[in-house]
Copies of this chain bind each other. A is one copy, B any other.
């Protein structure tokens, strides 16, 4: 019971935090409310209701189901739903018509067979990874509409009129959702994706900039600064989020700084390079916390070169991130990358002369890897914007 009470008292704080983290969430909630209220007007005004009757229900249903956070997701769902309804509707009529041909008795058997065949096939198609990513919702609606139309047709003689009403209300619902979603404080998945890519690179940069200080700190109280070093952790598992954003972004029309056929796939490449880099950073982070530490003197010997290397890499990454953010071509000869390459070379020669001891090598080599990865990232970024 005490546990429950603390939960209840914490609740308002959580709500506030959720809203503050991303104020667009509040706006989104209000938008959903608005869109639903708009379509429910169909019920309140006689002249509107007369035309559609109880089919007006489908408009409400469509808005609730289709309305998503970002424009891309809403457009994707809306188009999926619209297209699938239309195609499956036509196919359903066809099946209904075919089933009436051999006579009353066989109709249920034929209808059942068609429904079974289509549901089985489409369910299987849903397993194709590509279909799953972009058209999953459309396929569900396809099965749904086909079954409703072809099976209802068995009872209802006015299927055509019913279907017509249903399609028009679904269209109205879909357009209302899209209208509210696009024209009132739109949330573009493309923007989110763009920011995600830049933020992730920046997080790595932050880690690298602070890594040198942290690792070569003389004192033992290294707990202080750690929180700021953990920012990169979220990069490790960013893949799924990125993928869904790319899928949404591909549905979006031209907006803001993004052309119609913006190379969204490039973001996946950048993302995978960034994660590649993050895995290295994760390994570095392991050495921050490891019990086995080289002595201060040994560390002192390579301190300068290491700090320079990690700091310059971080700066180079920051520059890349800001270039990505503003969508400008990053300078082909970034001074920070040149500097960090220098530092890496001097570090390597230091090691060759036999100054090396124990653990530090690990981190040097890893930092060198990071530096070389940087070059990859750079060359990749160049291909964009």
Cα A280 to Cα B284 in complex, Å, equals: 10
Is A91 interfacial (CB 8 A cutoff)? Answer: no
Q: Which residues of chain B are near A286, meaning CB under 8 Å? A: 280, 369
Q: A236 and B144 in contact (CB under 8 A), knowing A25-B127, A151-B60, A358-B361?
A: no
Q: Do B282 and A32 touch across chains, with their CB atoms under 8 A apart?
A: no
Which of B33, B121, B156, B292 is A54 in contact with, Cβ under 8 Å? Answer: B156
Nearest CB in chain B: distance from A179 CB, A: 16
Q: Which residues of chain B are near A260, meaning CB under 8 Å? A: none
Is A44 interfacial (CB 8 A cutoff)? Answer: yes
Q: Which residues of chain B are near A28, meaning CB under 8 Å? A: 123
A52-73, CB under 8 A of B: which get 1 and which 0? 0010010011001100000000
A residues 99-115 near B (Cβ < 8 Å) are: 108, 111-112, 115
Chain A residues near B (Cβ < 8 Å): 14-15, 18-19, 25-26, 28-30, 32-34, 36-37, 40-41, 43-44, 49, 54, 57, 60-61, 64-65, 108, 111-112, 115-117, 119-121, 123-124, 127-128, 140, 143-144, 147-148, 151-152, 154-156, 236-237, 239-240, 275, 279-280, 282-283, 286, 290, 292, 351-352, 356, 358-359, 361-362, 365-366, 369
Q: Do A148 and B61 touch across chains, with their CB atoms under 8 A apart?
A: yes
In the complex, given contacts A25-B127, A41-B112, A359-B365, what are 15 additional A-B residue pairs having Cβ atoms less than 8 angstroms apart?
Answer: A18-B128, A32-B119, A36-B115, A36-B116, A36-B147, A40-B111, A44-B108, A60-B147, A64-B119, A64-B140, A237-B240, A279-B282, A279-B283, A292-B365, A356-B356
- Number of identical protomers: 2
Interchain Cβ contacts under 8 Å between A and B, 27 examples? A15-B124, A26-B124, A29-B121, A29-B124, A32-B120, A33-B119, A36-B115, A36-B119, A36-B143, A37-B116, A40-B115, A41-B112, A43-B155, A44-B111, A44-B112, A54-B152, A54-B156, A64-B119, A64-B140, A65-B140, A236-B236, A236-B275, A240-B240, A280-B283, A283-B366, A362-B362, A362-B365
